[in-house]
């Protein structure tokens, strides 16, 4: 390759959002709408929970990815980074979806509070029963006006910052020292806003699906997860643009840097996944372990949890670690596509399970009495009927006599009351929490929407930020052996 002939390549290319691409994206969005309709019609169980949890999952996932595109720009700008200058516009265009992403999340929340679906039904219990010590002071945090106002603020802040990034890096002369200083301020502002809002939104929209479960690193964890997806998306976009003859100055050195970040974030994600899992497994507090027990007791979620670990950890560890894999467009493209789907599965594990549980709690609610933690445990243990009377099995002080003490035993806290007999309603509803055709169609639809926003913004201006002080440096980027 040689690092010097690239300087002659023209930089003022402009991405053309051709009719062909538009058509392809329209088809994807159409597929998504059909998928939503199919899921809505064929899975009316539990207030169309499959439909709504899919909307939440995809909105959250793609908003995260889009915000992460802006985050990369902001972080690199603050760190005097020059390696990404050639693809800065691509990253900023990834941020286009966050113009609407926050509002879609707000829509999901408001419809939930209005009772259109029951993803956030727990709020009713919390508000109704807030003297129950199990809920501590959650009724303050999950007070609907406060809750909605928070999400509204995130949505507005993200849209404003996304717009500001596009405007600022697209129109200002970056080589002007004054503008350069302003770019630092803007980036710092974004980092601060993003750090706070991404944590809060993860609690508001995802962790609160299970109001009894806490994870103190959840915001961080979510950041790492859609971070991986964000790097994967940026790699795929760069490869796509290159395959269509754009971004000629971008070579394997740039993709290598993106690949290294993808690899690094995958390990970072694993670190957080494991930290979260092991502390809860070891701490053995019913409220924590509940989250895992109910998933591990479902064969399907046990499978998806391990699948996400294999794709998101083992695969990058063994495949992306090699320099040659990160420098080969086909190989890194394959890796990025796989990880992009892997982190979808990861979020799926968080958002898709709760509707099943909600069904169980919901039914018990009809049976009279409020659903309490202990009742939920009993119900959960029963959902999959794999344990014979777990309440009796609860090991508190007696030492297990055999080595195969499973995590599942923690499912039944000692204080769990004897459960009344319930129907097999949970078996009837459990089947819809899977990655089926509907999920894939909806995923394709949201991907189409995301790319539509991305390409619209990309085609608005030149593909490369001109007058950037780091442009020359970026063109000569060489990734050394070290």
Partner 1 sequence: MAETTLPNKFVVGLWDHEEVYLHAVEHIRHKGIEIYDSLTPFPVHGLEDALGLKETRLHTAGFMFGATGATLALSFMTWVMTTNYPINFGGKPYWPVPSFIPITFEMTVLFAAWGMTLTYLVRNKLWPGRVPRIYDKRTTDDRFALVFNAENLNEAQIAELKEVCRKEGAVEVKDRVFTPDEQL
Is 1 a residue that touches partner 1 (CB under 8 A)? yes
Count CB atoms within 10 A of the CB of residue 330. Answer: 9
Answer yes or no whether residue 481 interacts with partner 1 by CB under 8 A: yes
Minimum distance from residue 417 beta carbon to partner 1 (Å):
22
In the region spanning residues 256 to 275, those forming contacts with partner 1, defined by CB under 8 A, are 274
**Residues from 311 through 330 that contact partner 1 (CB under 8 A):** 321, 323
- Candidates 316, 305, 314, 306; CA nearest to 261 is 316
The residue among 239, 87, 28, 83 whose CA lies nearest residue 95 is 87
Per the CB < 8 A criterion, the answer to whether 182 and 77 are in contact is no
- Using CB under 8 A, which of 18, 243, 467, 478 touches partner 1? 478
Mark the segment that binds partner 1 (CB under 8 A) among 36-44, 197-205, 348-356, 404-412.
404-412
What does the block give as tokens for 206?
């995802």
Shortest distance (Å) from residue 395 CB to partner 1: 5
Q: Phi/psi at 462 (nearest 5 deg)?
A: -60, 150
Q: Any idea what DSSP says for residue 204? A: I
Tell me how far, at minimum, the Cβ of 400 lies from partner 1, in Å.
6
399 makes contact with partner 1 (CB under 8 A): yes
Are the C-beta atoms of residues 60 and 197 closer than 8 Å to each other? Answer: no
**What are the contacts of 167-176 at 24+ separation with CB within 8 A?**
169/73, 169/88, 169/89, 169/92, 169/465, 170/89, 170/92, 170/460, 170/461, 170/465, 173/467, 174/465, 174/466, 174/467, 174/468, 174/469, 175/467, 175/468, 175/469
Candidates 20-28, 229-237, 372-380, 397-405: pick the segment binding partner 1 (CB under 8 A).
397-405
Coil, helix or strand at residue 172: coil
Q: Is 39 exposed, middle or buried (CB count within 10 Å of its CB: 0-12, 13-18, 19+)?
A: buried
Among 18, 136, 243, 284, binds partner 1 (CB under 8 A): 284
Pick the piece of the chain touching partner 1 (CB under 8 A) from 40-48, 82-90, 136-144, 470-478.
Answer: 470-478
How far is Cα 68 from Cα 81, in angstroms, rounded to an integer? 16
In the complex, what is the shortest distance from the CB of residue 213 to partner 1, in angstroms, rounded to a whole number? 18
Compare residues 405 and 437 and give the one whose CB is closer to partner 1: 405
What minimum distance in Å lies between the beta carbon of 478 and partner 1? 4
User: How many other CB atoms are there within 10 angstroms of residue 124's CB atom?
Assistant: 16
Least separation in angstroms between CB 480 and partner 1 = 6
Q: Which of 140, 149, 156, 278 binds partner 1 (CB under 8 A)?
A: 278
Fill in the DSSP letter of residue 149: H
Whole-angstrom distance, CA of residue 6 vs CA of residue 471:
12
CB 357 within 8 A of CB 121: no
Between 171 and 386, CB nearer to partner 1: 386
Binding segment toward partner 1, per CB under 8 A, in 224-232, 395-403, 441-449, 463-471: 395-403
Closest separation in Å from C-beta 307 to partner 1: 18
Kindly state the tokens that stand for 194.
Answer: 């993003």
Q: Which one, 2 or 245, has the nearer CB to partner 1?
A: 2
Residue 5 sits in the site that holds partner 1 (CB under 8 A): no
3-state secondary structure of 83: coil
Site for partner 1 contains 428 (CB under 8 A): no
Residue 292 or 455: the one with the smaller Cβ distance to partner 1 is 292
The yes or no reply on residue 281 touching partner 1 (CB under 8 A) is yes
Q: How far is the CB of 331 from partner 1 (least distance, A)?
A: 16
Nearer Cβ to partner 1 (163/277):
277
CB of 225 to partner 1, least distance (A): 19
Minimum gap (Å) between residue 85 Cβ and partner 1: 15
Which residue from 134, 313, 365, 340 is spatially nearest to 226, judged by alpha carbons? 340
128 in contact with partner 1 (CB under 8 A): no
Q: Which residues bind partner 1 (CB under 8 A)?
A: 1-4, 274, 277-278, 281-282, 284, 321, 323, 395, 399-400, 403-406, 409, 476-478, 480-482
């Amino acid at each position: 390759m040689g690092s010097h002939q690239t300087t002659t390549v023209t930089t003022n290319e402009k991405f053309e959002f051709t009719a062909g691409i538009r058509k392809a994206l329209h088809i994807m969005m159409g597929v998504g709408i059909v998928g939503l309709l199919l899921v809505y019609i064929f899975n009316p169980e539990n207030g169309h929970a499959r439909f709504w949890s899919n909307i939440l999952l995809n909105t959250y996932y793609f908003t995260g990815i889009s915000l992460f595109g802006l985050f990369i720009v902001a972080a690199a700008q603050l760190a005097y980074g020059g390696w990404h200058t050639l693809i800065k516009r691509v990253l900023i265009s990834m941020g286009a979806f966050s113009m609407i992403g926050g509002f879609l999340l707000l829509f999901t929340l408001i419809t939930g509070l209005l009772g259109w679906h029951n993803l956030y039904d727990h709020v009713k219990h919390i508000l109704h029963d807030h003297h129950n010590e199990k809920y501590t002071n959650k009724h303050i945090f999950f007070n609907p006006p406060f809750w909605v106002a928070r999400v509204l603020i995130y949505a507005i802040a993200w849209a404003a910052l996304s717009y500001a990034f596009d405007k600022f890096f697209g129109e200002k002369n970056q080589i002007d020292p004054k503008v350069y200083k302003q770019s630092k301020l803007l980036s710092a502002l974004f980092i601060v806003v993003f750090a706070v809002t991404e944590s809060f939104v993860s609690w508001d929209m995802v962790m609160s699906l299970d109001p009894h479960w806490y994870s103190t690193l959840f915001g961080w964890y979510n950041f790492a997860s859609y971070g991986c997806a964000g790097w994967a998306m940026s790699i795929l976009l760069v490869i796509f643009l290159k395959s269509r003859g754009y971004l000629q100055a971008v070579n394997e050195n740039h993709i290598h840097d993106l690949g290294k970040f993808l690899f690094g974030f995958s390990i970072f994600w694993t670190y957080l996944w494991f930290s979260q899992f092991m502390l809860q497994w070891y701490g053995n507090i019913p409220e924590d372990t509940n989250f895992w027990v109910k998933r591990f007791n479902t064969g399907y979620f046990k499978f998806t949890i391990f699948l996400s670990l294999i794709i998101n950890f083992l695969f990058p560890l063994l495949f992306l670690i090699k320099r040659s894999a990160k420098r080969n467009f086909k190989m890194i493209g394959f890796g990025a596509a796989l990880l992009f789907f892997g982190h979808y599965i990861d979020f799926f594990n968080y958002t898709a399970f709760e509707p099943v549980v909600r069904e169980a709690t919901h039914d018990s609610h009809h049976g009279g009495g409020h659903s309490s933690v202990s009742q939920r445990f009993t119900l959960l243990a029963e959902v999959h009927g794999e344990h014979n009377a777990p309440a009796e099995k609860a090991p508190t002080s007696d030492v297990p006599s055999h080595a195969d003490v499973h995590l599942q035993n923690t499912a039944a806290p000692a204080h769990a009351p004897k459960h009344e007999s319930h129907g097999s309603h949970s078996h009837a509803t459990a089947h819809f929490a899977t990655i089926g055709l509907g999920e894939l169609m909806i995923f394709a639809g949201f991907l189409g929407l995301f790319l539509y926003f991305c390409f619209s913004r990309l085609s608005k201006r030149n593909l490369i930020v001109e007058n950037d002080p780091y442009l020359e440096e970026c063109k000569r980027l060489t990734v050394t052996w070290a």
